[in-house]
Structure 1
Amino acid sequence: MTEIGSVDEVPVIDVRALVDASSGAAARRAVAERLGAACRESGFFYVVGHGVDEALQTRLEALSRRFFALPVEEKMAIRMALGGLAWRGYFPVGGELTSGRPDRKEGLYLGTELGPDHPLVRAGTPLHGPNLFPSEPSGLREAVLEYLAALTRLGHSLMSGIALSLGLEEDYFAAGVMADPLVLFRIFNYPPGPGTAGDGQPAWGVGEHTDYGVLTILKQDEAGGLQVKSRLGGEVRWVDAPPIPGSFVCNIGDMLDRMTRGVYRSTPHRVLNRSGRDRLSLPFFFDPGWTAEVRSIDAPALRGVTTAEDSSERWDRQSVHAFRGTYGDYLLGKVGKVFPDLRSEVLSKSES
């Protein structure tokens, strides 16, 4: 394995000026400048001063651990195959793929709670609908929905700073491609295990990948294991992004890379649980609406920038800049590779 660098390469940013509506314009611009620098240089950053209730985070983490401690047959009562087009529910260890290899993690797929009368649900839109919540532990449903509301508010605040960093109005994203954002949430448990798989390769909790959308806000427990591919100083190497108390670690995804013509880059990352115990991870994905057309944006900070072809450098050898269409088009193609059997079932339902 390559040498691992330090957390210094992933900046820590206090974003309270973006979260607090009473903050002055100068304070908001100062935070925005730091966010812009992080998006250009590493694609990853920690946020503190985010205003998300600590007691809520602690409650959700405790309930999540109780769920994963249940017998497998009880967890499978809400397996993803029962979620239909909404693509929600539980999957066991090895049930999700990255680059065709099974991940060493189990998880619960969740998202915005939408009833049967919502227009997108009635239209049979994939990844939209009700969540599958377990009967035990009691209170998980309420904690998840409260957390989703809090992180959605934070997501809009961070995107206002990213808009400012590009020389745009603060509400550029909220009034445009993220006016009706696609909010997806995962609760993952990475069990302890051997350091290598049967083929001698590291037993990755999740292998090298980039995220698909615009912004990921991650709560990780104290076990650590997240690694980020750094290009600072022209040297490509992996750096640890360990947990920092009171923070979330954030990263930008393929669609922000696409919209900024590669100036803000989606950065590969991976997870290897070396702690000897379970690792809990809660990634929140804050992305464009399903029907939003994703294209490069005309921002003052991007004028004169020509998109560079970078597919040869990307983990999957595919260019996000060649993509044309809606975010739903992009996401369905990507997620279908993660759950190929489920994708076939979902497509057959949507076509019938």
Structure 2
Amino acid sequence: MADSTPSSPGKSLPVIDVSALVADGAGREPVAAQIGAACRAHGFFYVTGHGVDPALVQRLEDLSRRFFAQDEPTKMRWRMALGGRAWRGYFPLGGELTSGRPDWKEGLYLGTELPADHPLVRAGTPVHGPNLFPDIDGFRATVLAYIDAVTRLGHRLMEGIALSLGLPAAYFAERYTADPLILFRIFNYPTQPVPEGMDVHWGVGEHTDYGLLTILRQDDVGGLQVRTPGGWIEAPPVAQSFVCNIGDMLDRMTGGLYKSTPHRVTRNTSGRDRLSFPLFFDPNFEARVRRIEGLDSAATDDSAERWDRANVHAFSGRYGDYLLAKVSKVFPQLRDEVL
């Protein structure tokens, strides 16, 4: 296994109380300034005072553990191949790739719930459609309530990011996120060893996220690591918080002023399974992402510094095209079936 020891163990990510943003009252600008400083420094920060009900989060964790405790044939009743172009459902251990190597996790892909007769679904728009919900009492209602709550938080955080850039609070909503693309994942990192012969080194290998903002709830096990200018650091669990990080499209919009930051997850050797719940708050699928005019940054090509050697500033087109090009590498066999 690759060395997972952070090179800067004494450093930590900032913890920001965003209650003023959530309340939409006085004191938003100082919070926005803290978010801006975190985005400039390393693109990661914790948020507290977010207003998401702890009881809802606990229900989600409890129900998720019930799902993953089932045997694999039962979980495969909701496999992603049955989700079609909506790209929803369960994948087993080793079923998702990062940089061509399997990650040591299993998970459920979920998102905004759209009925079969919704115009986007009828048109066959990828990553839009109904979810595949396990038949566990309360699972569907809990997931949808959680997505709604964290999506509301995402709108407030994007207002803070806009203010941090000297823009009107509604800048992103008016251009990209009035109807955001919301993708939600429930991941389980098992404590069981990797079978002999599998080329697995990480829970999740080094990567950046694709869109605007990721809002992650992690349980108390830990394992997330972030690459900062000073080296890799731990992002351990902080009680009643979310970990937030910016994605490739915000990097592109800001001309590299706010960079999408590589991160990874170590293999779980804690003796307890680890759960994480990332929600991706992204531009509308049809949105064409453009650079924000007037920002003091001139990045045009940072591919030599990136983990994947890609130049996000050269991308032109719909956000959905960027997303599909990335996600299709994660599940190449599913890509061939549904795209």
TM range (shorter): over 0.9
Whole-angstrom CA distance in 2 between matches of 1:342 and 1:3: 34
Whole-angstrom CA distance in 1 between matches of 2:105 and 2:210: 19
Q: CA deviation at 1:120?
A: 1.0
Q: Which residue of 1 aligns with 2:280?
A: 285
Judging changes above 3 Å, is the alpha-carbon distance between structure 1 residues 10 and 198 closer, same or farther for their aligned structure 2 residues?
farther
Deviations 1:78-117, CA, capped at 9 Å, x for gaps: 1000000100000000110000001100000000000122
**Matched-pair contact (CA < 8 Å) for 2:102–2:200:** no
Q: In the alignment, which of 10, 13, 28 is matched to residue 16 of structure 2? A: 13
Which secondary structure does the structure 1 equivalent of 2:177 belong to? coil
Whole-angstrom CA distance in 1 between matches of 2:118 and 2:52: 28
Whole-angstrom CA distance in 1 between matches of 2:12 and 2:220: 19
**Matched-pair contact (CA < 8 Å) for 1:194–1:203:** no
AA partner of residue 238 (structure 1): W
Q: CA deviation at 1:172?
A: 0.7
Judging changes above 3 Å, is the alpha-carbon distance between structure 1 residues 36 and 245 closer, same or farther for their aligned structure 2 residues?
same
Deviations 1:31-76, CA, capped at 9 Å, x for gaps: 0000001011011000000000000000000000000001111110
**Matched-pair contact (CA < 8 Å) for 2:213–2:281:** yes
**2:232 matches 1:246:** no
Q: CA deviation at 1:276?
A: 2.3
Which secondary structure does the structure 1 equivalent of 2:171 belong to? coil
Judging changes above 3 Å, is the alpha-carbon distance between structure 1 residues 334 and 144 closer, same or farther for their aligned structure 2 residues?
same
Q: In the alignment, which of 293, 312, 324 is matched to residue 332 of structure 1? A: 324
Whole-angstrom CA distance in 1 between matches of 2:269 and 2:156: 34
Q: Which residue of 1 aligns with 2:36?
A: 36
Judging changes above 3 Å, is the alpha-carbon distance between structure 1 residues 197 and 251 closer, same or farther for their aligned structure 2 residues?
farther
User: Identity of paired residues, percent?
Assistant: 67
AA partner of residue 181 (structure 2): L
Q: Which residue of 2 aligns with 1:228?
A: 226
What is the count of residue pairs matched by the alignment? Answer: 335
**Matched-pair contact (CA < 8 Å) for 1:268–1:315:** yes
AA partner of residue 262 (structure 2): P
Q: CA deviation at 1:197?
A: 7.5
**Matched-pair contact (CA < 8 Å) for 1:9–1:42:** no
Which secondary structure does the structure 1 equivalent of 2:334 belong to? helix
Whole-angstrom CA distance in 1 between matches of 2:12 and 2:273: 26
Whole-angstrom CA distance in 1 between matches of 2:196 and 2:7: 21
**TM-score scaled to structure 1, two decimals?**
0.92
Which blocks of at least 5 consecutive residues in structure 2 are unaligned?
A: none
**Matched-pair contact (CA < 8 Å) for 1:195–1:274:** no
Judging changes above 3 Å, is the alpha-carbon distance between structure 1 residues 100 and 267 closer, same or farther for their aligned structure 2 residues?
same
Deviations 1:255-296, CA, capped at 9 Å, x for gaps: 000100000000000001232221101000000000000110
Which secondary structure does the structure 2 equivalent of 1:93 belong to? coil
Whole-angstrom CA distance in 2 between matches of 1:7 and 1:118: 50
Please show how residues 60-71 of structure 1 align to structure 2 within 5 Å: 60-71=60-71
Deviations 1:145-166, CA, capped at 9 Å, x for gaps: 0000000100000000000001
Judging changes above 3 Å, is the alpha-carbon distance between structure 1 residues 7 and 177 closer, same or farther for their aligned structure 2 residues?
farther
AA partner of residue 261 (structure 1): G
Q: Which residue of 1 aligns with 2:289?
A: 294
Which secondary structure does the structure 2 equivalent of 1:173 belong to? helix
Whole-angstrom CA distance in 2 between matches of 1:5 and 1:18: 31
Which secondary structure does the structure 1 equivalent of 2:157 belong to? helix
Deviates more, 1:103-112 or 1:168-177: 168-177
Judging changes above 3 Å, is the alpha-carbon distance between structure 1 residues 279 and 4 closer, same or farther for their aligned structure 2 residues?
farther
Whole-angstrom CA distance in 2 between matches of 1:283 and 1:266: 16
CA RMSD of the aligned region, Å?
1.5
Q: Which residue of 2 aligns with 1:215?
A: 213
Q: In the alignment, which of 303, 309, 312 is matched to residue 320 of structure 1? A: 312
Deviations 1:214-250, CA, capped at 9 Å, x for gaps: 000000011100000011xxx3x11000000010001
Judging changes above 3 Å, is the alpha-carbon distance between structure 1 residues 59 and 323 closer, same or farther for their aligned structure 2 residues?
same
Please show how residues 187-202 of structure 1 align to structure 2 within 5 Å: 187-194=186-193, 198=197
Whole-angstrom CA distance in 1 between matches of 2:82 and 2:232: 38
Q: Which residue of 2 aligns with 1:124?
A: 124
Whole-angstrom CA distance in 2 between matches of 1:65 and 1:4: 33
Whole-angstrom CA distance in 1 between matches of 2:6 and 2:180: 38
Q: CA deviation at 1:308?
A: 4.3
Which secondary structure does the structure 1 equivalent of 2:176 belong to? coil
**Which aligned segments of 4 or more residues in structure 1 are displaced greater than 6 angstroms?**
none
Judging changes above 3 Å, is the alpha-carbon distance between structure 1 residues 101 and 187 closer, same or farther for their aligned structure 2 residues?
same
AA partner of residue 16 (structure 2): I
**Matched-pair contact (CA < 8 Å) for 1:86–1:128:** yes
Whole-angstrom CA distance in 1 between matches of 2:197 and 2:84: 33
Which secondary structure does the structure 1 equivalent of 2:286 belong to? coil
**Matched-pair contact (CA < 8 Å) for 2:101–2:200:** no
